Amino acid sequence: MKSNRIAGFLAVLACAGIVLGPIRAHAGTKYQTSLVPDVAGTTPGFSANGSSIQLNGKLALKGKIKGVVDGSGDRITATNYSVEVDLSIPATATTETVTVSFDLTNGNGKFSADLSTDPGLSAAAVGHGVAVLAVRVKDDTAAVIGHGGFAKE
């Protein structure tokens, strides 16, 4: 009797595998990295601790930057800081640079953007990989002050 149950269970699994096998599963994926200053501990600059960027499969980009200071070491309140992200869709040989501007209050800033309607990313079909080639942090003079990556400990 037990062998009949096992055989029946295996038959159900086999049928489910045949029926569900061709269905593609698109799990939620994301790219996430820290934002790190080009030279740690110098001014102007920012803190790698707590600064990050994330981009998910629905093309929602968000992030934050912490402890931004000017040449005197004072926390900055400013506008027109930005993050640039270089993206590539290998399946279509498409590349795109996305720029998201943000403001700083007392040295901290948050940013977000919905890239799902970006014309440069419309070439990506569901399931296509999107490669993050580079991430740059720019100050209000468009000078690069940091990148996506990690800080050596």
At residue 19 the predicted structure's pLDDT band, cuts being 50, 70 and 90, is: very low
- Cα distances from 32 to residues 4, 9, 65, 69, 118, in angstroms, run 49, 41, 14, 24, 20
Structural domain boundaries of the chain? 26-149
Enumerate residues 6+ apart whose C-beta is below 8 A from 50: 64, 66, 67
Whether this model's pTM surpasses 0.75 = yes
- Cα distances from 26 to residues 23, 44, 55, 125, 142, in angstroms, run 10, 42, 16, 12, 37
Contact 84, 132 (CB under 8 A): no
For residue 18, pLDDT over 70 is answered with no
DSSP string, 11-38: HHHHHHHHHHTTPPP----EEEEEEEES
Return the CATH class of domain 26-149.
mainly beta
Mean pLDDT of 27-49: 90
Three-class SS of residue 129?
A: coil
At residue 86 the predicted structure's pLDDT band, cuts being 50, 70 and 90, is: very high
